[in-house]
Amino acid sequence: MRIPFLAIPLLATLVLSACTTNDLGDSRGLSKTQTGAIIGTASGAALGAIINHKNRGKGALIGAVGGGLAGTGVGYYMDKQAKDLEKQLQPEIQRGEISVEKRAGDNALLVSMTANTGFDTNSAMLKPGYTTTLNKISRVLNQYGKTTVTVIGHTDSVGSDAANQILSENRAQSVMNYFAGQNVNPLRLEAYGRGESEPRADNATEAGRQLNRRVELWILPVVAN
């Protein structure tokens, strides 16, 4: 299946206005407990494609975020970001609506959100009540500005392959655009749709289909070298 890239360029004025982000200059109390179960991960091939794409534009990214991370600071930075996400999203994690995973091997963060909490059936319009959750994520993304965020939409297998592909693309774009509207630097953002091609559960059951209907955020560090 062809999987189109959906990064949408925004006005230069928006880019410039969003370039200033808070970072790790302040001390903050962090939760010492991590809650919620990790529901699963996307394929290594998908993450590899994201990393390869970002490496091609690495110079521009480093300039946009004011310099990349280096050495042991990369893991520390991403660990703190994961803990802040878990702290902010604790109610959603406890309700099983969202999960946060930190991958030790590549320092990537995977935030996985069930689509039914964010969208009505066959719709790419964000539910008004879900913006509270996205606002929490946006605040953390703005604090940790030396990262990129790839939004990936997934569907179950109900309906045609073509319709599911379009739906997944539109949902990913809706989330990406919302983050840009919350002053997350658009140069850090991109979106893809995977349609029904990457299920993480059996589509033969409603429980499995619910897990497959999801939006994932891959948060990657911008590394200096």
pLDDT band at 36 (very low <50, low <70, confident <90, very high): very low
Mean pLDDT rounded to a whole number for the chain: 80
Q: Does 158 map to a domain?
A: yes
Using a 10 angstrom Cβ sphere, with 0-12 exposed, 13-18 middle and 19 or more buried, the burial of residue 184 is: buried
Q: Does 41 map to a domain?
A: no
- Report the pLDDT value the prediction gives residue 224, as an integer from 0 to 100: 86
Q: Does 154 map to a domain?
A: yes
Tokens (6 digits) for 18: 């969003």
- Report the pLDDT value the prediction gives residue 150, as an integer from 0 to 100: 96
* pLDDT over 70 (residue 3): no
Percentage of the chain exceeding pLDDT 70: 74
Q: Does 143 map to a domain?
A: yes
- Report the pLDDT value the prediction gives residue 151, as an integer from 0 to 100: 96
For the chain, how many structural domains are there in total?
1
Q: Do residues 97 and 46 lie in contact, with contact meaning Cβ atoms separated by under 8 Å? A: no
Average pLDDT over residues 59-72: 80
Average pLDDT over residues 160-169: 96
Q: Does 82 map to a domain?
A: yes
Average pLDDT over residues 7-27: 37
Q: Does 118 map to a domain?
A: yes
Q: Do residues 18 and 183 lie in contact, with contact meaning Cβ atoms separated by under 8 Å? A: yes
Average pLDDT over residues 209-223: 93
Q: Does 20 map to a domain?
A: no
Percentage of the chain exceeding pLDDT 90: 60
Instruction: State residue 90 phi and psi, 5-degree precision.
Output: -55, -45
Domain of 133, in residue numbers? 58-194+203-221
CATH number at residue 149: 3.30.1330.60
Q: Does 87 map to a domain?
A: yes
* pLDDT over 50 (residue 21): no
pLDDT in tens, 109-151: 999 999 888 999 899 999 998 999 999 999 999 999 999 999 9
* pLDDT over 60 (residue 2): no
